[in-house]
Amino acid sequence: GEPALCYGGEREKADGKIWCDWQVQWSPLGHFLATFHKQGVALWAGPEFTKKIRLAHNGVKYLEFSPTEEYALTWNGSSALDADSQAVRIHRVLTGECVHKCRTPTVAPLGGDFPHFLWSHDGKYFAECNESAISVRETDTFQLITDEDGKKKTLKFPDLSTFQWSPKDNLLSVWCLERENNPARLVLIEIPSRRELASRSRTQVEASMHWQSEGDYLCLINTKLSKTKKKGATNLEIFRIREKNIPVDIVEVKDSVRGFHWETKGHRFSLLTSDESGHHPKMFIYGLSKEKCEALSFFDLPSNSYNNFFWAPEGQYFVCAALGHGDLLFGGMTSDNKLEILHKDEHFMLTDVQWDPSSRYVITAVTQPMQNEIGGFKYSMEAGFAIWTFQGRVLHRQQKEKLWQIAWRPHPPCLLPPKKQGEIRKNVRQYSKKYDHLDDQAKEAARKSFKDERESKLRNFKEVLQRLDEHKFRRSEENGWDQAVERHLEQQGWEPLQVVTEEVMEVTEEKI
């Protein structure tokens, strides 16, 4: 069906107000829609999308909610050199109160301009870093966590490059660069105890960290570098976080790695590769069992343009896409780890691919960069979006001039405990039999209803015809209908003519 507009700012337009000056953003659980204004951020909620909270911060450029939506961090875009003591503000979402202010940190740990602070999965801690230390603060007091002596201190890491939180635990993964005689190191640190759970040292490598969505695994992708910085072999080191002593699986990759993506809520990951010259692109799917990590399947990609991979939020299905070009490949993994390519299509010049939270739909879009009118001109003719089923069937296409942003509304977390969800997934075939039976009953009832309705209408129609025939018969003599028919036949001048035609049906020959 066609998408239905829930709210388009009619109330604000009627009052002559501008609903939004800059951009919009959903909160992580989908309870709030944030709109950016010169004076700060407004949070809208409820079935009518009414304004609930104002987060005051002049010139705000970026917003980041804590995972539980208890806090919202805003940044005005100022440089660390500006010494603006109110560049970063943390607000309590329910009241809009500013509970913490600080200058812009010198490092954005994930790269780019933002974010400078990273939240723990439960929102109890947030952390920032510089080139030699990580500062972890509690959200209850906004003070540094204490060490074993009860002193508030940072976590010291010489030559610190970056860090990340586990998506499900208060656990930090830290990557430190190689310097002189000190090798590069990956360290796993438990918070707030500061206990080191595991570490790994490497020399002459370039590396990146990738957490699985449930925090069960951490992958360290390290590529060997020569003294001239030429790239060599690549290894995937998979840390099994939940197992005793955190064992590590090592997968050697001969080709150049173009993309690594964990299956959401799963034990598989995808790998996009090409040869040294950038040709012969391939897609691999690997799986982790209790004993080992192994390649499950691979697929030769149709072109070099495929550069990104998107797993569905519930895992199993995926879209392999060529961002900036338009090629789309819809696929999935069966329960017995067989690769299925479901559909190949195109959305010319596509810039965005997003799964909806239920994993049933995919939205692809061509959006224009809001800050760059000149650079965005090339997208203006193709701006728009398309909605697909997870199998790759198009449900809706729409061209939309000046489309700046597109995003699904997040779903609140499932009320069922993880154990119960696991039981349902494990017994899904039993449930499917039950619901298939109910579906069959519903289909049979619908067919019977349709048949009964059709027969009833046909019966009513025949009754009307019969009444008309009876009426005609009763009035035929009175209206002179019989005499009129006789006169009509006489005027035709028909004469009966009998013609005899002989036709040979069978011939039988006998010898005498």
What are the extents of the domains in the chain? 302-413, 424-456
* Pure H helices in 194-285: none
The distance between the two most distant Cα atoms of the chain, rounded to a whole number of Å, is: 132
The per-residue pLDDT for range 418-469, each reduced to its tens digit, is 788 888 878 888 888 888 888 899 999 999 999 999 999 999 999 999 999 8
Predicted model pTM: 0.81
Residue 373 has pLDDT above 70, yes or no: no
CB 115 within 8 A of CB 144: no
Tell me if residue 469 falls in helix, strand or coil: helix
Contacts of 40 (CB under 8 A, 6+ apart): 54, 55, 56, 57, 58, 60, 74
- Looking at the predicted structure, is the pLDDT value of residue 204 above 80? yes
Nearest to 120 by CA among 75, 70, 54, 172: 172
Whole-number pLDDT of residue 207: 94
Q: Which long-range contacts (CB under 8 A, 24 or more apart) does 99-104 make?
A: 99/71, 99/142, 100/142, 104/75, 104/78, 104/79, 104/80
Secondary structure class of 259 (helix, strand, coil): strand
Residue pair 333/339 in contact (Cβ under 8 Å)? The answer is yes
Rounded to an integer, what distance in angstroms lies between the CA atom of residue 123 and that of residue 341? 39
* d(C-alpha 380, C-alpha 325), whole Å: 15
375 pLDDT exceeds 80? Answer: no
Which has the minimum average pLDDT: 336-345, 454-463, 490-499?
A: 490-499
State how far the Cα of 76 lies from the Cα of 68, in Å rounded to an integer: 23
pLDDT score, position 481 = 80
Q: Looking at 8-22, 88-102, 238-252, which range is the least confident one? A: 8-22
Which helix (H) or strand (E) is 237 found in, with range? strand 231-240
pLDDT tops 80 at residue 203: yes
| pLDDT at position 374 over 70 | no
The mean-pLDDT minimum among 71-75, 171-175, 253-257, 351-355 falls in: 253-257
The Cα 158–Cα 180 span in angstroms is: 12
Query: DSSP state, 80?
Result: G
210 beta partners: 219
Report the pLDDT value the prediction gives residue 133, as an integer from 0 to 100.
96
Instruction: Give Rg (Cα) of the chain.
Output: 35
CA pair distance 370, 131, nearest whole angstrom:
32
In this structure, what DSSP letter does residue 255 have?
S
Region class of 236: left (phi > 0), else alpha (psi between -120 and 50), else beta = beta
Q: Does 302-413 carry CATH code 2.30.42.10?
A: no
CA 121 to chain CA centroid, Å, is 19
Q: Using an 8 Å Cβ cutoff, are 231 and 224 in contact?
A: yes
Least confident of 26-40, 394-408, 483-497: 483-497
Q: Report whether 426 contacts 432 (CB < 8 A).
A: no
380 pLDDT more than 90: no
The label of the residue with tokens 């060490």 reads 147
pLDDT in the model for residue 10:
86
- Cα(338)–Cα(319) distance, rounded to whole angstroms? 16
Label each residue of 34-56 as H, E or C. EEEECCEEEEEECCCCEEEEEEE
Q: What is the pLDDT of residue 372?
A: 65
> What integer is the mean pLDDT of 49-63?
94
Q: What strand order describes the sheet that includes 155-156?
A: 118-119, 125-129, 133-138, 155-156
| C-alpha to C-alpha distance for 438 and 441, rounded to whole angstroms | 5
Gap between the Cα atoms of 182 and 174, Å rounded: 15
Is the pLDDT at 228 greater than 80, yes or no?
A: no
pLDDT the model gives residue 121: 96
Which of these ranges, 5-14, 155-164, 199-208, has the smallest mean pLDDT?
5-14
Beta strand spans in 84-193 (E): 88-92, 98-102, 118-119, 125-129, 133-138, 155-156, 160-165, 171-176, 184-190
Residue % of the chain over a pLDDT of 90: 70
Residue 37 pLDDT level (bands cut at 50, 70, 90): very high
Lowest mean pLDDT among 32-41, 95-104, 428-437: 428-437
